[in-house]
Structure 1
Amino acid sequence: MGKIHSLKKSVEFQRVYRRRRSLGNKYLVMYLAENKTADLRLGISVSKKVGNSVVRHRLARLIRESFRLNMDAFRTGYDIIFVARPSAKGQGYTEIESAMLNLCRMHGILSLEESK
C-alpha cells in the first residue's frame, strides 16, 4: 500500500467533472477520468447540505479510509472523485465502503482479483 495522492486544486476537480463519466448510488456519486499517469488520485467532496463540519469531516475520513484499505484492488491511471450524498449522513464504515466498491465495480476499475 502506498500513499494516497489527492486532487486538491479546483482545476483538477473541474477536469474530472467535465468528463461527465459518473455513476451514483444511495450514498455516493463517483466521477472518473483517466489521468495518463501511473497514479491513482482521489478527491472527496462533501457539501454543507450533508451536515455540519463534524459530520462532513467524518464522512470524508470514512471515504478516505475505505479507499486506502482497498486501493490495491484498483487499476491505476485514474482520477476519482467521490461526492457524498445527504443520505450518507450517519452511516457507518461498512455501508460507505460497500457503496464505494459497488461504484468502482460499475465503473470497471477494480482489478480482476477483487471483482471475482
Structure 2
Amino acid sequence: MLPVQNRVRSADDFRRAFRSGVRAGSRVLVLHAAKADRSHAVRVGFVVSKAVGNAVVRNRVKRRLREIMRARLGALAPGLYVVRALPAAAAADFGALEAALDRVLPEAQRKLAGRAEGR
C-alpha cells in the first residue's frame, strides 16, 4: 500500500500530469510525469480502464503496479507520476510489468529534467 502522502487522488492532479507532464510508454503501460507542485513528495496515481479487463483483472494489475512503484519511491524525483495500464497489461505477469516500468521511468525522468533545463 502506498502511504497517503504519496498518492495522487484529485482529478486536478491527474489532469495536470496528463496535460502538462511528459510521457514515456511501452507495450503494456504509459507513464505520465509532471513537476512537483507545492509539496515535495513523490505522488503516484494509477489509471486502469475497463479495456484492460474485468474488475478482478484490473485490480490485480493495479495491485502489482502499486507494489512496483512503492518499492521505487525513494529513487524518484519529487513530482506527479501517473501510470496508465494498457490492455496488454492484463496478460503481463509481475516481472513483465516491473521490467516495463523500469524501462519507462528513466526516460520520463530524463524528459522532466530536460524540460526543467529549458530544452
Amino acid at match of 2:25: G
Distance (Å, rounded) in 1 between the aligned partners of 2:83 and 2:27: 13
Amino acid at match of 1:45: V
Identity of aligned residues (%): 27
TM superposition score normalised by structure 2: 0.83
Distance (Å, rounded) in 2 between the aligned partners of 1:29 and 1:19: 15
TM superposition score normalised by structure 1: 0.85
2:7 maps to 1:6: yes
Q: Deviations over 1:57-106 (max 9, x none)?
A: 1100000000111222222x210000000011121111111111111111
Amino acid at match of 1:3: P
Which consecutive segments of 4 or more residues in structure 1 shift more than 6 A? none
Q: Which runs of 5+ in 1 are unaligned?
A: 110-116
Distance (Å, rounded) in 2 between the aligned partners of 1:7 and 1:29: 16
Bigger shift: 4-13 or 45-54?
Answer: 4-13
In structure 2, the residue corresponding to 1:108 is in which secondary structure? helix
**Corresponding residue number in structure 1 for 2:47:** 45
- Structure with bigger helix share is 2
Amino acid at match of 1:24: G
Q: Report the RMSD for the aligned CA atoms in angstroms.
A: 1.6
